[in-house]
Structure 1
Amino acid sequence: MTVPEGARRQGFAVMRFAADAGFTAGPPLGALLIAHFSYAVLFVVDGVGTLVFAAYAARVLPARGAGRAAAGEPGGGPGVFASLRRRPTVVALLAAVLVTDLVYRQQYVTLPVDLGRNGLDTGFYGWLLAVNGGLILLLELPVTLALRGRRPLRIVGSGVLLVGAGYGVLALGVGAGTAVAMMALLTAGEILYKTTATAYVAESAPAHAQGRFQSLYSGVSVSGVVLAGPLGGALYEVAPGALWPVCAALAGLAGALLLWAGRGAAPVAGRARAGRSPAASAESAG
């Protein structure tokens, strides 16, 4: 990792801010290009921009993480699964995020269907997503800075509980008010759990397995892209009224698991300042 251990939450928050800003600005800019030129021009501009960034990144990014290179750490070590067995809190986090992402991404698959079923049109759904993006752009960086010294698993667990609370609101009835309240709670949960969970995995990984830990977390954290549609859709087709209570219950269980797993863990940044390695800190936290 190029970012020092004590600043990784902030680093991941900045990265998510940039990604969300691009997600927000990209569609209208693309529509503008299509309206004035064509789809072909859009794809050419997109491809050229990607190649330019790839060349720039290859030139400026270090071949090895700055912290690891400076410390002269070796590249060998136990395999990723052996390392995970020594870090049970990371395993608990991965399991909880797997469940949470399945629930979280229902906002993209079954939520618009249920909104339509209850008389809320596509325009309302678009504004609902705008609430999500706008709140993240405004709040994620300051919240991450404010909580940087707090226990990470408590933050992640609290965020996951907020995701469950959001779907719990929908279980009371689907309407404009409950949908806005759901999105506000869901966004608050996302702000708390996503950046902190990503940083916790990075902090906990041994130096020789940083990339593999991050790849594993990335796969788990987007698992809902694959699972949310078929599983949520199947449940909605059989029992539409059960979907939101089940989502709330699953996220509640995942949040409770994380709060239990992190009950004795000290803040990672604090341990790093005390001179302990991320790997040793994760093991003691378990």
Structure 2
Amino acid sequence: MSAASLRRAARESVSGLPRAFWWLWTSTLVNRLGAFVATFMTLYLTLERGYSASFAGLVVALHGLGGVISSLVAGVMTDRLGRRPTLLAAQASTAFSVALLGFMEHPAAIAAVALLVGMTSNASRPAVAAMMADIVRPEDRVRAFALNYWAINLGFGVSAMAAGLIAEYSYLAGFLGEAALTLTCAVLVFVKLPESRPGPLPGSRPGSRQAGAPAATGKGAAAGTGAEPAIGLGTVLRDGHFMGVVGLSFLISLIFTQGSVGLPVAMGAAGFSPGDYGLVIAVNGLLIVLLQIPVTAFIEHRDPQKLLVVSALLAGYGFALTAFAGSLWAYALTVCVWTLAEIVNSPTQMGLVARLSPVHGRGRYQGMYSMSWAVASLVAPLMAGFVIDRYGAAWLWGATGVLGTVAGAGYWLLMRTLPEGGVVEVAEAADGGASAPVAKPLPAAAEG
């Protein structure tokens, strides 16, 4: 791709998105600039505190358990209380709990506060995703999710290098730095981001269709009430296609989480320092910063089935190659492989989740989707600690290859069963008004 093509792709990627999106994007960037706990927890516990890989895995698993609990609760809060209040509460409580964790010394206290950090830090995910789906037009969502993912990794790439150096001198400084930047995010949300939750149309009667809500279907429509069917967690669980996406997301998350769980433990056991790990994992963020925009421009209208299958295989076998790494350059090369999988998988899958989520159930649907990552954060550390302690890291990397193969087959089968006409989207006007629902078919291979 030429320089002119790259510039054109960059302009097309950032044009036409609302101002509120860019404030949300900025908040995401600032938050990820302070990322420390999730990335360096295992090194902190094994190298700084002297605990075993199994105990480190247990603590990080408790962090993941906190995310499991908060994902569903935050999803309901996002729909009931609003996106903005949920974000504010999550970010302010995260800042407090992260700072507190830095001062904990007793093993039980470390474990308990890690659980709290997991609950608070994951609570913002459903609100961010729902707000983004609210404020961005359906046809721009893959691009918007890609840009948000780009911000996450721009911040992560910078923070990984800085935090790796900081960790060699003071882990406490890393905890306090993350707390300060997370609190800055809360202030930014309070000052700049308006509430985006769809509300009733001006002058509408109670029970009438709300702005941005899809037309009633099923029993409500048959009765002629025009009311949107009630959406609860049971509705989400009964949605077979969506829960299939959640299950496959769990497998993919289980693989990608090894970048912050299995990889640092394996590198530490091989004699590499926290700074070495910081440099290697920074390759992940750097590549996403460089490639996310041009790759998204290339894949935006291509067949999502093929994209998801290929990304699953790249993720699984990219991590499997780690078994053969023996130098920093070799580790960095494996990171390049599975990073390409991230670049393709994340916006494609998030776009699919947004398509399958009804407007007034976005919080609950996004909460369930976030839970797949949270459950993976719970299972992956236990899996990594057990396998590395008992059998060695090579077996862990072999398992990721198997998981990637299973996920690839699952995406292929799932996408074949989606309705031919796609799912119903609602075209929302820029001023917040409602318009008629329109069919948004999933991209076909011929469109690429």
Give TM-score, length-normalised by structure 1: 0.79
1:238-272 Cα shifts (integer Å, max 9, x gaps): 11131111111112111221122224656969999
Match of 1:52 among 156, 166, 187: 187
1:13 deviates by: 1.1
Does the alignment pair 1:5 with 2:138?
Answer: yes
Distance in 2, Cα, partners of 1:171 & 1:48: 39
Distance in 2, Cα, partners of 1:228 & 1:10: 29
Match of 1:188 among 307, 316, 340: 340
Tell me the secondary structure at the aligned position of residue 76 of structure 1: coil
Partner residue of 1:106? 258
Contact 2:309 2:411 in 1 (8 A): yes
Distance change (3 Å), C-alpha of 1:225 and 1:57: farther
Contact 2:425 2:438 in 1 (8 A): yes
Does the alignment pair 1:128 with 2:280?
Answer: yes
Partner residue of 1:139? 291
Distance in 2, Cα, partners of 1:40 & 1:221: 23
Does the alignment pair 1:250 with 2:403?
Answer: yes
Tell me the secondary structure at the aligned position of residue 262 of structure 1: helix
1:54-107 Cα shifts (integer Å, max 9, x gaps): 22244x3433289x725675543354443553442x222211111221221112
Sequence identity (%)? 24
Contact 1:149 1:270 in 2 (8 A): no
1:130 deviates by: 1.2
Pairs within 5 Å for 1:251-270: 251-263=404-416
Distance in 2, Cα, partners of 1:261 & 1:120: 41
Does the alignment pair 1:115 with 2:248?
Answer: no
Contact 1:75 1:207 in 2 (8 A): no
1:161-218 Cα shifts (integer Å, max 9, x gaps): 1011112212345444442221011100111111211121111112232211111111
Distance in 2, Cα, partners of 1:156 & 1:40: 35
Contact 1:97 1:220 in 2 (8 A): yes
Distance in 2, Cα, partners of 1:221 & 1:168: 20
Tell me the secondary structure at the aligned position of residue 211 of structure 2: helix
Tell me the secondary structure at the aligned position of residue 62 of structure 1: coil
Distance in 2, Cα, partners of 1:271 & 1:144: 22
Is there any run of 5+ residues in structure 1 with no aligned partner, and where?
none
1:223 deviates by: 2.8
Choose between structure 1 and 2: higher helix proportion: 1
Distance in 2, Cα, partners of 1:258 & 1:49: 38
Tell me the secondary structure at the aligned position of residue 227 of structure 1: helix
Distance change (3 Å), C-alpha of 1:253 and 1:24: same
Pairs within 5 Å for 1:1-286: 1-26=134-159, 28=162, 46=181, 49-58=184-193, 60-64=194-198, 69-70=211-212, 74-88=227-241, 90-172=242-324, 174-240=326-392, 241-263=394-416, 276-277=438-439
Distance change (3 Å), C-alpha of 1:57 and 1:219: farther
Contact 1:169 1:178 in 2 (8 A): no
Contact 2:251 2:403 in 1 (8 A): yes
Query: How many residues in Structure 1 have an aligned counterpart in Structure 2?
Result: 272
Between 262-271 and 16-25, report the one with greater CA deviation. Answer: 262-271
Give TM-score, length-normalised by structure 2: 0.53
Between 144-153 and 75-84, report the one with greater CA deviation. Answer: 75-84
Highest CA radius of gyration, 1 or 2? 2
Distance in 1, Cα, partners of 2:231 & 2:186: 36
Give the alignment's Cα RMSD to 1 decimal.
3.6
Tell me the secondary structure at the aligned position of residue 385 of structure 2: helix
Counterpart residue identity of residue 185, structure 2: T
1:152 deviates by: 2.1
1:24 deviates by: 3.7
Contact 1:2 1:65 in 2 (8 A): no
Counterpart residue identity of residue 253, structure 1: V
